[in-house]
Structure 1
Amino acid sequence: MRWRLARMMRERSGLAGLGLAFLLIAGSMAFEEYGHLLKATEPAIGNYSIHDGDTITIEGERIRIIGLDAPEIGSGARCASEASAAIAARNRLSDLLADAEITLRRDGTDRYGRTLAYIYADGRDVAKLLIREKLARPYDGGHREGWCR
């Protein structure tokens, strides 16, 4: 009887260890995905301009919006359809930011020296809105697909 009890306790402690390992891995993955939400947002103070669907400037600070890839504008466009899609994305971003309370959550810089930040218009994540409206694509820093068909 004691032998059986000791065996059950060992088996249960093994399961508890597996459960703990699972929780640690899941928590780590969740933090990687949503950890940026722990950083405070701050109001965007001053004048701003919109370069394209994923880059804005606030008081001289160039900001690359995290989470999306928008078509390139002007000479960066590789075809006419990309150029027109870029204008549509820029115009929609302009509409979203116009008369909105703009807040941002900075998260480092990119290789071009631009600030990386999540941008919110009246509390709404502009990257998610542009992606939902098919004016941009999700982007996490990896390979980007072209916009020309």
Structure 2
Amino acid sequence: MLRRLDGLIATLVLVALAIGAVSVRREPERLAGDVRVVDGDTIELGGRRLRIAGIDAPELRQTCERGGELYRCGETAREELRRLAGPGLTCRVAGRDRYARDLAVCEAGGRDVGAALVSAGLATAYGRYEAEEREARRRRLGLWAGTFQRPAEWREAHPR
């Protein structure tokens, strides 16, 4: 009888611990420090590589067309991210993508960096910032001022 009772108590304790672990909400991890911009949607911050959540920027080698001329839209996106990610950049890790990369929502000067890139037409919305993309398209800003291949399509056509 005591063995059964011990087994039942042990099971109840394990169930209670499991429920407690699920119900405890962790604060999102926040990072700040020296930033290195890798490309138009990827940075290194605090020794971690982070992909900006909710956007997809042209690849560094990607070119786009505007006014009948080709330009390096991937480089343009990276330069704008460098400008935006100046001193005071903070990021909140928001999960991982399907490639196990850390996704982060980043702010600088009280401004959401992902929203700013999409609003300027230098990145496309990817699960977030759809209103910003619609407005950039309407105003024909950045990528929307000419023709371009969406970054995911470009990557598929240009494997490394």
TM-score (norm: length of structure 1): 0.59
Say which SS state the counterpart of residue 104 (structure 1) adopts. Answer: strand
Q: In 2, are the aligned partners of 1:96 and 1:121 still within 8 Å (CA)?
A: yes
Displacement of 1:43 in angstroms is 4.5
- 1:146 corresponds to which residue? 150
Gaps of 5+ in 1: 1-38
- Structure 2 residue 53 is matched with structure 1 residue 66: yes
CA offset digits 1:58-117 (Å, max 9, x no partner): 13311010111100113xx3xx32871111111011011123x11111112223332111
Q: In 1, are the aligned partners of 2:28 and 2:94 still within 8 Å (CA)?
A: no
* Cα separation, 2, equivalents of 1:43 and 1:49: 13
Higher helix share: 1
Say which SS state the counterpart of residue 98 (structure 1) adopts. Answer: coil
- One-letter amino acid of the counterpart of residue 69, structure 1: D
* Cα separation, 1, equivalents of 2:110 and 2:31: 11
Q: How does 1:122-137 map to 2 (within 5 A)?
A: 122-137=109-124
- 2:64 corresponds to which residue? 81
Q: 2:30 aligns with which of 27, 39, 42?
A: 42
Identity of aligned residues (%): 38
Q: In 2, are the aligned partners of 1:54 and 1:70 still within 8 Å (CA)?
A: yes
- 1:26 corresponds to which residue? none
Displacement of 1:41 in angstroms is 7.2
- 1:9 corresponds to which residue? none
- One-letter amino acid of the counterpart of residue 37, structure 2: I
- One-letter amino acid of the counterpart of residue 126, structure 1: V
- One-letter amino acid of the counterpart of residue 41, structure 2: D
Pairwise CA RMSD of aligned residues? 2.6
Change over 3 Å in CA distance of 1:92–1:58 after alignment to 2 = same
Say which SS state the counterpart of residue 64 (structure 2) adopts. Answer: helix
* Cα separation, 2, equivalents of 1:40 and 1:109: 12
Aligned length: 102
TM-score (norm: length of structure 2): 0.55
Q: In 1, are the aligned partners of 2:31 and 2:90 still within 8 Å (CA)?
A: yes
Q: In 2, are the aligned partners of 1:103 and 1:123 still within 8 Å (CA)?
A: no
- One-letter amino acid of the counterpart of residue 80, structure 2: R
